[in-house]
Structure 1
Amino acid sequence: MSADWSQVPAAVLDEAGVLEHVGSPLREQRILRDGLAIVPRADRRVLAVPGEDRLSWLDSISTQALKTLAPGESSELLVLDPQGHVEHAASVLDDGETTWLIVDAADAEPLLTFLLRMRFRLRVTPRDASDELAVIGCRAPALAHLEAASPAGVPLVWRDLWPEIGIGGVGYAADEDHPGHGYGAMEVLVTRETEAALVRAAAAGEIAVAGVLAAEALRIAAWRPRWAAEIDERTIPHELDWLRTAVHLDKGCYRGQETVAKVHNLGHPPRRLVSVQLDGSDAVLPAAGAEVRVGDAVVGRLTSVAQHVDDGPIGLAVVSRRADVATPATVDTPDGPVAAALIEIVPPDAGAAASVPRLTRLSRRT
């Protein structure tokens, strides 16, 4: 059971018990970015996959090459449907005995159901470990305040490598000046007893805490896609530039691989992720899901939105491949349209692999 973060002074929790902020979301962004705060991630859950066949099995049913994942090494996977649409996403960490999957809360039960259905006769026993472990976000300096769980002797610290391009991956957004460089997010798995101790320390003012609003603003500014925000029933990984970290293009067969290969090698994704700079003069922040228009035409939808400490109101949107991002746009709100500028992340000619540079530098997975 999750610890009660409402004990922290000025804490504001949502209906699901997720700590949104502690009174100053913009200040919280600064201290979180600088590694001076931790962020409780009750919006994330943990699945455990012990068993001798765990890595080869997860390799066979996901987009990522995991057979040789070393203990303590961080990775990321997607599970696709037969048509290549994203169904599930997980951060991946192995400790030599168990593979730990960190997932958005709403995806935990569906992903576990899928894993249990796909076991066949293999030596794997997936389970929901959320009652055992909590997820705490941080940046490097704040890691010193956290005692990571280590049931097999390997501290369970997942490091987000975004936006670096992993072995077998490819990036569509320009690598130079990518705003995700320096993102440096981590997710630390701690026991529920340790989480309760963190609550007491935060309530006493011994450690600084930020809410998920701060973490989301930093994610959006880094152009980092998330299952709970950017995914719908039509999403393919190419649209979100997710081939960088979550897809290995040269591994063995898996469900949806044909679509991944065809779109990357022969075609273009039908939609693409863009960054959105919103007009903040009226202090109106559109909601995620709002329609994005260029002229009178609806070209897509806003998937994430935040008030950023440096950049003001920003968002991510998924728009049609043919949308003209150089033309001023608007985003619908109940109070009328808000002016917006669209900034290219995934270019319209993404795919056509001959024109895309392949960079491999993160790991030795094959």
Structure 2
Amino acid sequence: MSPSILLTRPGAVAATGPDDGVAAHYGHPVTEQRALERGIGVVDLPLVAVTVTGPDRLTWLNTLSSQVITDLVPGGSTELLLLDPNGRIEHAAAVLDDGESAWLITERQAAEPLAAFLDSMRFMLRVEVAQQPDTAVLGTSAAGPDLRGLAPEGSRPALTWTDPWPDTAPGSTRYGHPDADHPGTQWRARLTLVQRDHLTEVVTAAEAAGARLAGAWAWEAMRVSAWRPRLAREVDERTIPHELDWLRTAVHLEKGCYRGQETIARVFNMGRPPRRLVLLHLDGSEHVTPEPGEEVHSGERVVGRVTSVVRHHELGPVALAMVKRNLAADAPLTVAGIAAAQEIVVSPDGMGTGRPEPSQGPALRRRTL
């Protein structure tokens, strides 16, 4: 996919890595971050859409994914995970339905593999899978500007997805803080799908109404401070949802069989996830930050790796990292020689809320959440 037209804006600096193709910032990364926090920021995101169209779309997606999709109403928002047979995350997507098609919003690099997997699973069902390269994704705060009415007359109606994070949905569980105490409640995301040909016009209209264009760095700072996992950053070939506290919004524990469900149930009922997500507060006096992928050390021992690194306008340099579950919460840590202190995201005890009583056994359908 070609780079975004908004990279031609004055001051635009191109992002790299999974954000390639959009702007990291437009010359004022801290101001842009504050604009997002205030609810006036608009971000051109490195996300794309895959559609599933046809009368069987919701029931079919329901059989494949970790989430209950059958009761998704037009305009409603949810998210799903597609797992491998061992319960490891292969795909993640924000999902909304317009009454005719289910729109799956995912990472740019993941769209083609996602579409290929879905297409391979169609069999005789009445569904059609298609990538939507003509659709751009704009991000705002959920309390920010509504972009749906800004598209030019005659263009396709814009669709909006509201992030459920960090609410623990009915039928789900959490491995970290209660919803009311979770930092994700302080900033929630909204994604709006617009025709790529009209991207400039929509953003210009938003700016005329008081919005400010912001880059991917600002978006990532908000995401990391909300402890929000991202497929392109926090997920590797071993990741199971429990390690990221992703059961909150993406997994329904009482739905029927799907690939990877046995691992979801077994770890929830009887086991503990082998790793856990933490937020690392990095020593800001070094004036440098580690790169994603750097090892986390406790003394001479490697205890994890960094997945996302940002400079937050209030928290300073912070990172998300996956560490061993049994790492002590007060263990002194370093990343690339930089001192780090961990803030617990996923509880070290590895226990989800709403666990069944021992007499109930492991059956998922008998669990009271």
Decide whether the 8 Å contact of 1:48 with 1:129 is kept in 2: yes
What is the aligned counterpart of 1:147 among 134, 138, 149?
A: 149
Bigger mean CA offset, 223-232 vs 205-214: 205-214
Could you tell me which residue of structure 2 aligns to residue 105 of structure 1?
108
Distance 1:141 1:168, change over 3 A: closer
C-alpha deviation, 1:75, in angstroms: 0.2
- How far apart are the structure 2 equivalents of 1:161 and 1:144? 17
- How far apart are the structure 1 equivalents of 2:313 and 2:356? 33
Could you tell me which residue of structure 2 aligns to residue 344 of structure 1?
344
CA offsets 1:196-240 (integer angstroms, 9 cap, x no match)? 313555899974100010000000000000000000000000000
- How far apart are the structure 2 equivalents of 1:232 and 1:31? 32
What is the identity, as a one-letter code, of the residue corresponding to 2:103?
A: W
User: Does residue 273 of structure 2 align to residue 265 of structure 1?
Assistant: no
User: Does residue 163 of structure 2 align to residue 160 of structure 1?
Assistant: yes
C-alpha deviation, 1:152, in angstroms: 12
Decide whether the 8 Å contact of 1:269 with 1:350 is kept in 2: yes
For residue 285 of structure 2, give the secondary structure of its aligned residue in structure 1: coil
What is the aligned counterpart of 1:77 among 73, 76, 80?
A: 80
- How far apart are the structure 2 equivalents of 1:111 and 1:190? 21
CA offsets 1:228-282 (integer angstroms, 9 cap, x no match)? 0000000000000000000000000000000000000111000010111000001
What is the aligned counterpart of 1:127 among 121, 127, 130?
A: 130
- How far apart are the structure 1 equivalents of 2:207 and 2:5? 11
- How far apart are the structure 2 equivalents of 1:148 and 1:85? 40
Distance 1:194 1:70, change over 3 A: same
Q: Which has the higher contact order (CA 8 A, sep 6+)?
A: 1
CA RMSD of aligned residues (A): 2.4
C-alpha deviation, 1:26, in angstroms: 1.2
For residue 127 of structure 1, give the secondary structure of its aligned residue in structure 2: strand
Ranges in structure 2 where 5+ consecutive residues have no aligned partner: 358-369
C-alpha deviation, 1:295, in angstroms: 1.5
User: Does residue 306 of structure 2 align to residue 302 of structure 1?
Assistant: yes
What is the aligned counterpart of 2:296 among 292, 314, 334?
A: 292
Decide whether the 8 Å contact of 1:97 with 1:152 is kept in 2: no
Distance 1:221 1:189, change over 3 A: same
- How far apart are the structure 2 equivalents of 1:244 and 1:232? 19
Bigger mean CA offset, 165-174 vs 141-150: 141-150
Could you tell me which residue of structure 2 aligns to residue 4 of structure 1?
5
TM-score computed with the length of structure 2 as normaliser: 0.90
What is the aligned counterpart of 2:320 among 316, 321, 342?
A: 316
Ranges in structure 1 where 5+ consecutive residues have no aligned partner: 358-366
Alignment of 1:216-255 (within 5 A): 216-255=220-259
- How far apart are the structure 1 equivalents of 2:156 and 2:202? 22
Bigger mean CA offset, 82-91 vs 344-353: 344-353
Could you tell me which residue of structure 1 aligns to residue 190 of structure 2?
186
Select the structure that is richer in helix. 2
Decide whether the 8 Å contact of 1:164 with 1:245 is kept in 2: yes
Could you tell me which residue of structure 2 aligns to residue 96 of structure 1?
99
Distance 1:290 1:38, change over 3 A: same
User: Does residue 15 of structure 2 align to residue 14 of structure 1?
Assistant: yes
C-alpha deviation, 1:294, in angstroms: 1.1
Distance 1:259 1:145, change over 3 A: closer
For residue 261 of structure 1, give the secondary structure of its aligned residue in structure 2: helix
How many residues are matched? 351
What is the aligned counterpart of 1:171 among 151, 161, 174?
A: 174
Distance 1:330 1:72, change over 3 A: same
Decide whether the 8 Å contact of 2:269 with 2:355 is kept in 1: no
- How far apart are the structure 1 equivalents of 2:331 and 2:154? 53
- How far apart are the structure 2 equivalents of 1:199 and 1:6? 13
What is the identity, as a one-letter code, of the residue corresponding to 2:137?
A: V
- How far apart are the structure 1 equivalents of 2:217 and 2:187? 16
Decide whether the 8 Å contact of 2:145 with 2:211 is kept in 1: no
Could you tell me which residue of structure 2 aligns to residue 364 of structure 1?
none
